[in-house]
Structure 1
Amino acid sequence: MEALAMIEKTTQIMAQYAGRDKSLRSLYFGLILYSTKLRREKAALLVAFAKQMSQTRLVLRQFNHFAMIQACRNAYNTYVNGPTDRVEYAFVSGITGIYTVYGVVELLAWLADAKLIAMDAGRLFKYCLYMWISALICGIIKTARQIMKKGLRKSKDEQLTLASLGSDFISAINSLPFNILWAGKLSTRTTATFSLIASVIGLYKLY
């Protein structure tokens, strides 16, 4: 019965955008991490295969624009009605706004990378990285605040979220093109490990 229940739950999760995205993300970073243990030729083949997972996620995200617009509308309606917690609202609406703009910029970067529009894809992808880091910082502060309000015993879910956001933040900073904090100083194995941790936590929380 437990196996059947797990299959049914997994089927439900895989039917959702979040389930497919987290699964692909976990698979991508799992393959990248494993490739660091292989010889150069085999590692290159595995990395090329893993990049297909990343590209698939990028394509799937393009179907998320309407959901983000709706999220912005919901945030506006909350503002009109008066949020009960203004600080929480500021972080949530800020994160929503950042990811909405992120989606548009990423779409332009994708089209530019495919040579369909005359824009600098590299620069646009850098803007996406900056926005992602900004959203992560907002998420970390928001989640830490929730933990402080609830206390450690009643905030297990928030603690998992904080661990996930923190792991992504470590990897994201390492990807920055300029010298700040630990940017460019971590190995591929280290960044893949932190990103995999964040991905697995995200997938686990769906269950």
Structure 2
Amino acid sequence: MHTGDGSETHGAEGGAITVRRDVPTGTEGRVAELYWEAFGRKLGAALDPPDKGRRFIATHLHRDRGVVALAGDHVVGVAGFQLGGRGLTGGGPADVLRTYGAVRGLPRLALLALLERTPAPGQLVMDGIAVDAGHRGRGIGSALLEEIARVAAGSGCDRIRLDVIDVNPRARALYERHGFTAVRTEQTPYLRRLMGFTAVTTMHRSVGDRRDETR
């Protein structure tokens, strides 16, 4: 049920899941934990060790650039997006250097730059989607994507863009069920040892293009 205020409630085995915009105050650490579980291999090269990386993400989180799934008041899923030059995961060069120091920080900035994706005009870019392992298979990823599409439409965007790595076929299948199509693939063999993937596929979906999917 869509409540009209950016929230949506889904009845599911194990209790209702509520989807809402904005990361609730006080849950930044939990969101950072979910992000690290999903993307730690990719982020770890730049933000290791894990405890320090999670703290960095939590400290610099832009709460208004996220959509979350809640089981009660517990965050069990999150999807980040970029709009107006800001994404869910923040922290600029000065923050990285302040946290890691100049000697260790500069190489980290170079690695983070490889992950940057800048939206084109009229485009919302998804930063990533992460669902708690114990709550997968309940349609949470689909619900988060639906709410992201509403955010894009309400922001005047005509296209949603995301990037998926070659070692995450499950995520790609989810995106394809929601109408995303691949537009190009960049081979990145130089990132295999550092971040664990060798190709990145960019996918687009027109806002308003929704496909039925099995939950």
Q: TM-score, normalised by structure 2?
A: 0.26
Q: Which has the larger radius of gyration?
A: 1
More helix by share: 1
Question: Hey, which of these two has a bigger chunk of strand by percent?
Answer: 2
Structure with bigger RCO (C-alpha 8 Å, 6+ apart): 1
